[in-house]
Amino acid sequence: MQNGSLVNAGGPQATLLNDSCVGCHSNSGTETIVTLGSTSIPIVFNASEPTYPATGTASSTLAGGNFYWVAQAGGDAYGHNVYGISGQDGTLSAAPGASTACATCHNSLAGSESTSGCKGCHVPAHHADDSAEVVGATGGWYRFLGENPAMMGSPDVYGVKGIEEDNWEQNPASDSHNGYFGSSTVYAKCFWPYLPTYSIGQFCVGCHGNFHHEMNSAQPGDVSGAWIRHPSDVIIPNAIEYANYTVYNPLAPVAKTALAGKKNSTVVEPGADLVTCISCHRPHGSPYPDMLRWDYSNSCKVGVSNADCGCFVCHSTKD
């Protein structure tokens, strides 16, 4: 936003003159992929409500969700509050579960520092060659989720690996979707100086440590005890209700411990695949509190159709 009005990403001039992330990646209308000549720009902030969940229309929300709801509709709980889009979260003064405080990213992503906002999570590499099936360091990491230079680590060495669906899941289906890398190693927080797993879960946990490190009563050693929080980065058992989740459902995606050859794989493998943060949350925001991927308070109840409740994708017999 500039002086309360959206920077229009719809014209070539905007592209030339505006070098902020939000300027290029927002749109005053509902289209979520803006085409300028041969370039397609993925939109993460629409000023008018995009379609959710994605149905394949031009207004369908992309995989990371959209900042529309945190900025224009629901409020602070409906997305990450980031610079250029919304002010500091009125309720949360730091990332829930954080064990460290280095303000610009760990307390808030809404500050005007050059390391805050979009760059708190993304380390842009627009000209990297991301044509490999599994995008890693060479491609600027999966969706530019690299080790942040502000972190004293080694920016080129650690990041998130994944398979990038060409249309950013504007039209997701069981045979057309991103591929998320995961690990069932009871990993340490962030990539550096700890053991890097290159997983999407470890990326979130860098700022939300306790959501993984205090999720089980037997931690830090292992996860054999009682669950304190919902398990994340644990294998989906090939047993009871879980064994029924065998066809990939982009509403409640899984992470895989090996991605090679798995581009657009329709197969979910209980006993091998994992539940992770992104199975339930959209990092940019969603129409629901806690940026959940589905309407937990209304769709997951007894007595209503549970088709839209992602919990039941894995907990199939509770449907």
User: Which residues are within 8 A (CB) of 128 and not within 5 positions of it... i.e. 6 or more apart?
Assistant: 138, 139, 140
Choose which of 50, 201, 250, 287 interacts with ligand HEC (CB under 6 A): 201
Tokens representing 214 are: 């205090």
Q: In whole angstroms, what is the distance from residue 43 CA to residue 9 CA?
A: 9
As measured in angstroms, the least distance from the Cβ of 257 to ligand HEC is: 14
Applying CB under 6 A, does 34 fall inside the site for ligand HEC? no
As measured in angstroms, the least distance from the Cβ of 44 to ligand HEC is: 5
Among 90, 225, 237, 271, binds ligand HEC (CB under 6 A): 237
Which long-range contacts does 21-30 make (Cβ < 8 Å, 24+ apart)? 21/84, 21/117, 21/118, 21/119, 21/122, 21/124, 22/84, 22/85, 22/117, 22/118, 25/118, 26/85, 30/58, 30/59
Binding flag, residue 189, ligand HEC (CB under 6 A) = yes
Cβ atoms 233, 219 nearer than 8 A: no
> Measured from the CB atom, is 29 or 231 closer to ligand HEC?
231
Residue 122 binds to ligand HEC (criterion: CB under 6 A): yes
* Stretch in the footprint of ligand HEC (CB under 6 A) among 49-57, 91-99, 258-266: 91-99
d(CA 294, CA 292): 6
Residue 71 sits in the site that holds ligand HEC (CB under 6 A):
no
Nearest-angstrom CA–CA distance, 271 and 273: 6
Query: How many C-beta neighbours within 10 Å does residue 297 have?
Result: 9
Binding segment (CB under 6 A) for ligand HEC, from list 38-46, 50-58, 258-266:
38-46
Tokens of 164: 């990038």
**Chain residue at closest Cβ approach to ligand HEC:** 206
- Regarding 268 and contact with ligand HEC (CB under 6 A), the answer is no
Q: Please count the residues of this chain forming the interface with ligand HEC, following the rule CB under 6 A.
A: 93
Out of 27, 186, 278, 306, name the contact with ligand HEC by CB under 6 A. 278
Measured CA to CA, the distance from residue 309 to residue 306 in angstroms comes to 5
Cβ atoms 274, 231 nearer than 8 A: no
What is the nearest approach in angstroms of ligand HEC to the Cβ of residue 4? 17
Assess 109 for contact with ligand HEC (CB under 6 A): yes
Using CB under 6 A, which of the segments 14-22, 46-54, 256-264 binds ligand HEC? 14-22
For the CB of residue 153, give the shortest distance to ligand HEC in the complex, in Å.
7
Check binding of 260 to ligand HEC (CB under 6 A): no
Q: Which stretch binds ligand HEC (CB under 6 A): 51-59, 88-96, 258-266?
A: 88-96
- Our measurement of the distance from residue 186's CA atom to the centroid of its chain's CA atoms, rounded to an integer in Å, reads 20
